[in-house]
Amino acid sequence: MKYRTTALLAIVLALIVGFNVSVVAENAAKKAVVGEKYVDFTDRAITIENGEVVEHEAMNFGELIKGKTAILKFGAVWCGWCKKLAPELVKANEDEDVVVIEVDLLSERESEQTVKDYNKKQNTPWPIFLDKGKIKAKYLESGGIPQSFIFDSDGILRYHMSGYKKYEDMKPILEAIKNGEPLPGKEGSTFPDFKMEKMDGKELDSAKLRKMHKSLVIVFGVPQEKAISDEFIGVLNKVAKSHRRKAEVIYAALVHPRGAKKEQHEEFFKDKDVKFTIAYDEEYSLWGKVSNGAKSVPVVFIVNKYGIIEKRFDTGPTYDDIEKGLKKAFSAKKPKKK
């Protein structure tokens, strides 16, 4: 009887341990995913109240963002781009429907006291979680900081923002999330107005193209064969020739002080027979508004004559792919005013 009891106890303990292990494993596996609900956490945090640091032993993220559009920013005091992003987030935080929550990544370079002193000096208007890695593990795969995650009022993660972004570029994203609309740069959203200098020195104005009732095929790229091969140039040439009256094919050459220069694009296209328009997107002013999750270029947008994105390709599409997108763009009906 004694041995039976011992054996039964061992089985029960094994089941309990196994259950606990599976729960721990399940919790550890939870990771923030765009399109899914936030991964919750409760941890130590500070707030700045009346110019003083107030410590909170346990703040809950879910409670802080309930019913709000929320920005969860990961950063550190030593990070220059994090500091540059802060005033842009202050502007976002002034919207009564938006809340900002910060997670400061503690490390050998980042002590709790440093975080407290800095945020007291800045009079930071939102809670700052003091993270030793537990929260980071739920949200960050890799990459530098700042990284920010934007949730809708139902707690669904809608947008992952890496690096610095001006509030004026962030605002359309926040408005789309607040209104339950497609995000900028996604199918169904409005493509931003633009003015760009063409390679021939003339101006390219989207407003003028719209007055001509033209649909657009816009390709963002850099001067590399991997990004825009001779074969793909042939595809764009064929599209431009086939639809010259109803569509404008535009190659938006990405230009940046820390990236490709105009001269490099000019050299790349010098000996190529190009039938489409080449214009410079300087400092990624247009790309920054529509890239939304792009991992590489070329990225191709097909925009109808009303300025709505009908199709987006995150790799170089075939001629038939573009034809199908243009067919949809040509048959688009004028959107109803809201």
Q: Specify the pLDDT at position 117.
A: 97
Whole-prediction pTM = 0.78
Q: Specify the pLDDT at position 292.
A: 86
Q: Specify the pLDDT at position 73.
A: 98
Q: pLDDT tens, 25-57? A: 444 457 999 999 999 999 999 999 999 999 999
Q: pLDDT tens, 200-237? A: 999 999 999 999 999 999 999 999 888 899 999 999 99
Low-confidence ranges of the chain (pLDDT < 50): 1-7, 9-17, 19-28
SS (H, E, C) the chain: CHHHHHHHHHHHHHHHHHHHHHHHHHHHHCCCCCCCECCCCEEEEEEEECCEEEEEEEEEHHHHHCCCEEEEEEECCCCHHHHHHHHHHHHHHCCCCEEEEEEEECECCECHHHHHHHHHHHCCCCCEEEECCHHHHHHCCCCCCCEEEEECCCCEEEEEEECCCCHHHHHHHHHHHHCCCCCCCCCCCECCCCEEEECCCCEEEHHHHHHCCCEEEEEEECCCCCCCCHHHHHHHHHHHHHCCCCEEEEEEEEECCCCCCHHHHHHHHCCCCCCCEEEEEECCCCHHHHCCCCCCCCEEEEECCCCEEEEEECCCCCHHHHHHHHHHHHCCCCCCCC
Q: Specify the pLDDT at position 145.
A: 96
Q: Specify the pLDDT at position 293.
A: 78
